[in-house]
Structure 1
Amino acid sequence: MTGTTLQKRGRKIVMTPEERDAFLAEERTCRVATTTADGPHLTALWFVWDGTALWLYSITGSKRWADLAADPRVAILIDAGREYDELRGVELRGSVEIVGEVPRTGQPHPELEVPEGLFARKYTGGDTLSYDHRHAWLRLTPEKITSWDFRKLAAVR
């Protein structure tokens, strides 16, 4: 991932790229933080990770979409675990870009073949994504990724 800032703190509990990719493939919900004139706005959303970019399939009439149209900078958090020594997560930061038509109607678009296949398999169990003419794709190619896996703390002690 050229251009991605390396994590400087918490290196003993950082996820390897393979651990991070597996975690992002498994987890189903992210929290998307946008910036507004009124302050931060935080929403939950489904996502897919293709190994390089995080893809969000967002309703184009949402506040989140309006926020990102005005300021594409975003912070996204995916985390899991209940007890302290189970906590793990990934935070991604950068600017999103719109890919494909708005709203998405299913017109052929080579850049969307992979994320749409991943999304369909992850959330519908099929290979085909159906289009409701209300959503469109946002791609975050992260400028910074921070990860942690507190399950590694036992090995550190």
Structure 2
Amino acid sequence: MMTTASIQRQTADRVRDTLERLIAERDVWVSTAHPEHGPHQVPLWFLWDGRAAWMCTSGTSVTARNVREEPRVRLALPDTFDVVLLQGEAEGFSAQDVPADAAQAFADKFGWDPRTEEGSYLYVRVVPKTVRAWRGEQELPGRVIMRDGTWLEQGPLANAPLKR
């Protein structure tokens, strides 16, 4: 593993930095698994609503199939130096059943509204139970910043409602 000259952040700083990234980032790697077909990983657009990550995929995709069979998922932001990993259970919503505020926020962020498309789409909501964040080897100790759905040190952005 490569070392860097970064300063080790305290837990509150990691929580703050993680929440800022969750709000700002566009893409997340979604890892799912199926009992018979094994693991699957795909990048998807996502929206952070202050408590959960929202993604949308074709209702017939491998990701949709997997979360229906096995809701445990892992999400990873696409940076191997500034690592953010979320683990939780996925909940699926059809385009007809998705909460309107979440679907509208998703459409506003990406300029694409799956509710207006032909074909079936599945909105996937993941409320994290565990979050890990680290920058470089020196931050591996203490990388868990959320446990059992609770941020270990609350910052001003933790559990904040979505701002539009």
Is the TM value for this pair above 0.5?
Answer: yes
CA–CA separation in structure 1 for the residues paired with 2:16 and 2:84: 13
Residue 130 of structure 1: how far off its partner (Å): 5.2
Where in structure 2 are there 5+ consecutive unaligned residues?
A: 1-7, 140-164
Determine if the alignment matches structure 1 residue 97 to structure 2 residue 91: yes
Q: Are the aligned partners of 2:14 and 2:134 in contact in 1 as well (CA < 8 Å)? A: no
Give 1:95's aligned amino acid. E
Q: TM (normalized to structure 1)? A: 0.68
Between the aligned residues of both structures, percent identity stands at 23
CA–CA separation in structure 2 for the residues paired with 1:112 and 1:16: 31
Q: Tell me the residue number matched to 1:78.
A: 77
Q: Tell me the residue number matched to 1:4.
A: none
Q: TM (normalized to structure 2)? A: 0.66
Give 2:109's aligned amino acid. K
CA–CA separation in structure 1 for the residues paired with 2:15 and 2:104: 22
Where in structure 1 are there 5+ consecutive unaligned residues?
A: 1-10, 82-86
- Return structure 1 stretches of 4+ with deviation > 4 angstroms: none
Give 1:18's aligned amino acid. R
Residues 24-77 of structure 1 deviation map (CA, whole Å, 9 limit, x = unaligned): 122111111111223211111111111111111121110111111111110111
More helix by share: 1
CA–CA separation in structure 2 for the residues paired with 1:41 and 1:98: 17
Which of 15, 18, 23 pairs up with 2:16? 18
Give 1:23's aligned amino acid. R
Q: Tell me the residue number matched to 1:69.
A: 68
Residue 12 of structure 1: how far off its partner (Å): 3.9
Aligned pair count? 128
Q: Tell me the residue number matched to 2:154.
A: none
How has the CA–CA distance of structure 1 residues 13 and 135 changed in structure 2, closer, same or farther, with 3 Å as cutoff?
farther
RMSD of aligned residue pairs (Cα, Å): 2.7
Q: Tell me the residue number matched to 2:121.
A: 135
CA–CA separation in structure 2 for the residues paired with 1:120 and 1:97: 19
Give 1:116's aligned amino acid. A
CA–CA separation in structure 1 for the residues paired with 2:100 and 2:128: 18
Q: Are the aligned partners of 1:117 and 1:129 in contact in 2 as well (CA < 8 Å)? A: no
Q: Tell me the residue number matched to 1:7.
A: none
Determine if the alignment matches structure 1 residue 149 to structure 2 residue 135: yes
